[in-house]
Structure 1
Amino acid sequence: MATIDLGEDPLALDRQVCFALSVAARSVIAIYRPLLKPYGLTHPQYLVLLALWDTAPRTVRDLCKTLRAEPATLSPLLKRLETLGYISRERDRADERALRIDLTEAGRGLRKEAEKIPYRVVEELGMEVAELEALHKALGRVIAATER
């Protein structure tokens, strides 16, 4: 195995991957806030809707797995989305233990409006789509490495 060289100061804050990821995540999510506000959505709620726009209905367990979230984290988000009228929650008839989440008509209709959001984010970031795709691919590798 090759020797890992982390330079003269491996604890320098500005060289830490965790720091760069943390600041970048907060900064990108901040771009979403004003874009989601007209719909009454937070970024985590938007992620739930993205998962449901991809596949609906879904169980809470499936959403947790897809979003890499705990049920205790997801539950309040789902309740709020239901209050907003974007989703419905009901027990699965085949398995009473499973809670089935589906989009309402308003939730399905919101998708058309939400299609504008990624374009606005790319504009705000001022980066090339290819550069963002490469970043996404690299982050996918980081995620995969942490899930071993």
Structure 2
Amino acid sequence: MSNPTSSSAPNPLLQLENQLCFPLYALSRMVTKAYQPLLQELDLTYPQYLVFLLLWEHQELTVKELGEKLLLDSGTLTPLLKRLERKQWISRRRDPRDERSVIIGLLPAGQALQVQACKVPEQIFAQLNLTPTEFETLRSQLNTLLTQLA
């Protein structure tokens, strides 16, 4: 049985502390976890909240457009959207111009949820303890990386 020698240093490229992926992964999980109690008050999951952010902004989008903006496939979105439809927060209808396309729109209860949701970003911003400039710089850098990889 051979023993590793003390002179063989690990490759620094393979050390966890030198990876970009781990802090991004861990941070993503922690930020999502910070959202959970706030979204539970609204009876929303984090992915459902993301859908609502887009619908509150655009009023209606196709499933394809939602998927493109959220980087999610229709197999992930469809069950999520069906749950929101059962709660009578959104409507799903075929696009009369293209029967293959499904349009997602807000129902009054889904629109009303926006009032309650306004406190979520403020509370998250406070938890992050960043200055507005730091927040904007970080968001910009993350969006740049996301665009480069998408």
Structure 2-normalised TM-score?
A: 0.89
1:49 corresponds to 2:38? no
Identity %: 40
Task: Name the residue aligned to 1:85.
Answer: 88
Give the partner amino acid of 2:101: A
| Structure 1 residue 95 displacement after superposition | 1.6
Counterpart CA distance in 2 for 1:138 and 1:45 is 25
How many residues are aligned here?
140
| Structure 1 residue 112 displacement after superposition | 1.4
Counterpart CA distance in 1 for 2:80 and 2:64 is 14
Counterpart CA distance in 1 for 2:132 and 2:18 is 25
Task: Name the residue aligned to 2:8.
Answer: none
Counterpart CA distance in 1 for 2:23 and 2:45 is 23
Who wins on radius of gyration, i.e. which is larger? 2
Contiguous gaps of at least 5 residues in structure 2: 1-10
Report the aligned-residue RMSD.
1.2
SS of equivalent to 2:53: helix
Out of 29, 32, 37, the position equivalent to 1:29 is 32
Structure 1-normalised TM-score?
A: 0.90
The runs of 4+ residues in structure 1 deviating greater than 4 Å are: none
Give the partner amino acid of 1:102: G
Out of 102, 110, 113, the position equivalent to 2:113 is 110
